[in-house]
Structure formats: structure tokens, C-alpha cells
């Protein structure tokens, strides 16, 4: 560990990794460059947006039998959203990166790059490439700008620094080609991970997240739409985009000041079954409805999708169609092969057959999302089925994702959100109850009429009644088949 004083304010700065070349002073935000025999002030680094992430500088864990500590991070922003890259220092002196995007995590370390790798502009999402250790499918390709930094970092970054990266997946394996410094790219490889699987400690708890999330634009969870004044509930630091439910104006919620992106189109109000901000307890965790959108396919068939968020669990999508409800979650362990053009893919050695291929269009959107979404957005979809369970591959020119879904009973959804039964269901139940009541009354009348002769002439009719009972039950008793 190397201890230095900040050239700007004099505060102590500790470089824990020999690979670190710069650090951000936590007191004055000065960017401190470590040179051979001195440190130099490069000016102020933009402050990171404290988001919903449970990770912080100082978080520790174990991966592959090696302990690590988070010593820094950079925050990267692209056209449709943002993500964190946390810089890790392992106990053996090696370093790595923990990618943190929309509640999904990948841990990678630097590897030796192959001699021949595709050029950045030649990479096409959904295609397979051999990046040095077998075929991987291109899952993400984008250019992003660094909007903030924290702690110590292994390279020099500053305002306007741009990362040009392409991500690749195969099963749970993950790799990144980093073209930020041109060709040839740097190769980082690893796998999808979870914080629980890495036994992470010193994570931020719910109260810390609530107090710090969105701190550089004020700790609020209700904002006023700058266009129409309607109130919009969202999670500070989580929502990169909000869409006003009143006037459909898209808002940038990841900037220091919430900005109007463009004037929303005035359209008819859409009624959703689940209200924005509604809460539910699912799997023992508290979830909240952040956003809702209505999508439609090429033939005009529409359905609703709800984004649910929990501080302690993964994002969940609830999908409402004319056939009922389903619960969907983005996969970390991708199908084999992970190509939406295939007719059959496997997950956990279970085959799924492709059933539908179509384009889905966002017809209406309201609430908050962890990426920028607006009416008119299009995505290519390939659906697969195995029994009642399904897979869906969705892709654009920049991104491919896989999700798995399973059906959920309507009563279960209503129990989660404590919803009353619709008026139509109540009326149907009342009709059923009325019909059942009529049937019972008719049966009682029939029995009553049959007992009238018994009341007036008991000894004359009881013989015939007993004889009738014997005629009904005696044959069955006498001719019962032997076991």
C-alpha cells in the first residue's frame, strides 16, 4: 500500500493496488495521478450518481477461492442508460472488474487476447465469434462515456473519456473486448455472478440505499413532471428514465437535474391492472411496481408488462396477456446455443422449441425504468416453449437478452398485491351462487313432497319405502365383484 497526500486538499489517499495509476480524493473530488516519484492533480472528477446498487468501495467477497475487495469504480453512461464497473483488488495482488448493470453482475479479469479479433465496427449482435476460447455470441455493443469515478483505478479517466466495448456470452461465461484505446482490443473474461454466491460483505443495506440513492440531484422519491406538473413516483438512483403517466413526456432521471427529453405525444390514457408504486411480497421479498408498458406485435395483439424492483432481489417482470399472467426474469446462464435463429435451444438440459418470431412495439409506457424507453421502440422477439414454461430472446442492433417465464395464477397475483376481484368476477360468482341456491331449494321441495304420504299413512307407506331402498342397494351388495 502506498500512502500519499492529495495535492489539492492535503487529505490522505491510500493506493492499495500496485496497478492503480489514479485515485479520486473522497474529500475534494480531485483526480490524483500517481507517477514514478510524485502525485499530480488532474482536476476535479465528476461525482458518481449514488444509485440503488448494494456494492460500495470496501465491499469484500470471494471468487474462485480468492478473496477480493472493491477499491474503486467508474460510472458509464450510454444513450439508453448507465452502469457501474467496480475495480477489484484480490488478496494475491491481481485485479479485476465487477460489472453491475440493472441488478445483474459479471466478474472478469484481464486475459491474453488472440491474434485475430474482429474490428469493433464489424461486430454484429446475435452473431457468433471465436474470441480465443471457443464460439461466443455477441450480446452487447456500445460506446459509453465516463460520467464519474470513485476510489482508485488502473488507468487514467476523466470527463469525456469514452469506452468502446463489446460483450459476449456462452452459458454462464462472459467476456468483454475493450476497444477504448483502439485496436487491438483488451480482452477481459469471466462469468456471471451473484453477490450471495460470492459471499459479499459490507454491502449497503436498504436504509443506506434509501438515504444515499440519487444524492447528487436530491433525495426525493416523487418528482413533478416539468411538462404538465403531474407527480411521478420513482426510485432515485435507479431509474434512468421516467415517463410521465399524465402527458407521456419522457424524462431523463439520471442527470443532475431531471430534464425533459422531448415532448410526449398526447394519447389516450391506458388503464393498467397494477398501479405504479403498488407493492407486493414475492418470495419473502418486498417488491414495488416501477414501470408499466403496453406492447403489441405485428398483428396488433397487445399485452401489458410490469417492471418490479426489490432492494434485496433481482428485477422481475410480470406479463399480463389475454391468456393470463406470467412471471419473467432475465437469464444469467444463457441457453445453448444462445442464438435466436435456432429452432431448438436447451436450458438446464431441457429442450425448448421455437414457436413464434415477431417484432414487438411499445404502444404506451408510464412510470420509471432502468433504461430509456419510449412509445414506438421496436425489438425483435423469438419465443420458445417447453410445457407451460417459456423462453424469449429479444434483440436490437445494440443488445441481446434472454429471459425465462412461467405462468402465474390470477388469484396469486391478486394475493401478492392484495387486489379485489373485478366486478365482472363478483357478478359471475353471484350468479353461480344463485343458481346453486335454486337447485338446493328444488331438491328440498322434491323430498318434502315425497314425505307427505308418509305423514298421513305411516304404516301403509313405510313398507313400500323400505322395499324401494332394498331394491336400490341389495343387488349391489349381493353381486359385488370378488377382490
Domain ranges of the chain: 2-193, 206-417, 433-478
Please determine, for residue 36, whether its predicted confidence score (pLDDT) is greater than 90.
no
The percentage of residues in the chain with a pLDDT greater than 90, rounded to a whole number, is 47
Those residues whose C-beta lies under 8 Å from the C-beta of residue 402, and which sit 6 or more positions away, are: 330, 331, 334, 335, 338, 391, 392, 393
What are 388-397's contacts with CB under 8 Å, separation 24+?
A: 389/352, 390/326, 390/352, 391/335, 391/345, 391/347, 391/352, 392/328, 393/338, 393/340, 394/360, 395/125, 395/126, 395/340, 396/125, 397/125
- Grid cell, residue 40, equals 499530480
Q: What is the mean pLDDT of the chain?
A: 79
Greater model confidence, 46 or 180:
180
Greater model confidence, 371 or 475:
371
Greater model confidence, 220 or 471:
471
Please determine, for residue 174, whether its predicted confidence score (pLDDT) is greater than 90.
yes
- Grid cell, residue 461, equals 307407506
State the pLDDT at residue 265.
43
d(CA 291, CA 137): 30
Greater model confidence, 293 or 32:
293
- Grid cell, residue 433, equals 351462487
The average pLDDT across 423-439 equals 54
Amino acid at each position: 500500500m502506498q500512502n500519499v497526500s492529495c495535492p489539492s486538499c492535503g487529505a490522505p489517499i491510500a493506493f492499495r493496488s500496485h496497478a492503480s495509476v489514479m485515485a479520486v480524493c473522497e474529500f475534494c473530488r480531485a483526480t490524483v495521478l500517481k507517477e514514478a516519484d510524485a502525485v499530480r492533480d488532474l482536476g476535479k472528477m465528476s461525482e458518481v450518481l449514488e444509485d440503488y446498487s448494494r456494492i460500495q468501495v470496501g465491499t469484500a467477497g470471494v471468487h474462485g477461492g480468492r478473496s477480493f475487495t472493491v477499491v474503486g469504480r467508474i460510472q458509464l453512461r450510454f444513450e439508453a442508460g448507465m452502469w457501474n464497473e467496480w475495480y477489484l483488488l484480490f488478496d494475491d495482488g491481481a485485479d479485476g472488474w465487477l460489472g453491475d448493470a440493472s441488478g445483474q453482475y459479471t466478474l472478469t479479469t484481464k486475459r491474453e487476447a488472440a491474434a485475430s479479433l474482429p474490428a469493433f465496427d464489424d461486430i454484429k449482435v446475435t452473431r457468433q465469434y471465436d474470441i480465443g476460447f471457443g464460439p461466443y455470441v455477441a450480446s452487447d455493443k456500445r460506446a459509453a462515456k465516463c460520467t464519474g469515478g470513485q476510489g482508485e483505478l488502473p488507468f487514467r479517466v476523466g470527463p469525456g473519456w469514452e469506452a468502446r466495448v463489446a460483450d459476449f456470452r456462452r452459458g454462464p461465461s462472459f467476456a468483454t473486448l475493450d476497444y477504448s484505446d483502439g485496436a487491438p482490443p483488451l480482452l477481459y473474461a469471466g462469468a456471471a455472478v451473484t453477490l450471495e454466491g460470492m459471499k459479499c460483505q459490507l454491502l449497503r443495506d436498504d436504509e443506506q440505499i434509501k438515504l444515499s440513492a440519487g444524492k447528487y440531484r436530491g433525495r426525493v422519491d416523487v418528482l413533478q413532471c416539468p411538462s404538465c406538473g403531474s407527480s411521478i413516483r420513482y426510485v432515485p438512483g435507479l431509474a434512468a428514465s421516467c415517463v410521465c403517466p399524465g402527458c407521456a413526456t419522457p424524462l431523463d432521471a439520471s442527470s443532475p437535474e431531471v430534464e425533459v427529453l422531448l415532448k410526449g405525444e398526447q394519447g389516450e390514457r391506458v388503464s393498467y391492472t397494477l398501479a405504479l408504486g403498488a407493492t407486493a411480497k414475492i418470495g419473502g421479498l418486498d417488491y414495488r411496481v416501477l414501470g408499466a408498458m403496453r406492447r403489441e406485435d405485428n398483428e396488433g395483439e397487445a399485452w401489458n408488462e410490469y417492471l418490479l424492483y426489490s432492494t434485496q432481489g433481482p428485477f422481475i417482470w410480470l406479463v399480463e396477456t389475454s391468456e393470463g399472467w406470467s412471471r419473467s426474469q432475465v437469464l444469467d446462464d444463457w441457453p445453448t446455443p444462445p442464438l435466436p435463429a435456432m429452432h431448438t435451444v436447451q436450458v438446464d438440459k431441457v429442450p425448448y422449441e421455437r414457436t413464434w418470431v415477431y417484432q414487438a412495439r411499445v404502444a404506451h409506457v408510464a412510470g420509471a425504468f432502468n433504461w430509456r424507453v419510449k412509445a414506438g421502440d421496436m425489438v425483435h422477439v423469438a419465443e420458445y416453449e417447453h410445457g407451460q414454461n417459456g423462453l424469449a430472446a429479444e434483440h436490437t442492433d445494440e443488445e441481446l437478452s434472454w429471459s425465462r417465464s412461467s405462468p402465474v395464477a390470477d388469484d396469486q397475483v391478486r394475493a401478492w398485491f392484495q387486489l379485489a376481484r373485478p366486478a365482472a368476477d363478483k357478478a359471475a360468482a353471484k350468479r353461480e351462487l344463485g343458481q346453486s341456491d335454486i337447485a338446493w331449494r328444488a331438491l328440498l321441495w322434491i323430498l318434502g313432497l315425497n314425505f307427505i304420504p308418509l305423514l298421513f299413512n305411516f304404516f301403509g307407506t313405510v313398507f313400500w319405502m323400505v322395499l324401494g331402498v332394498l331394491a336400490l342397494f341389495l343387488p349391489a351388495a349381493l353381486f359385488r365383484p370378488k377382490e
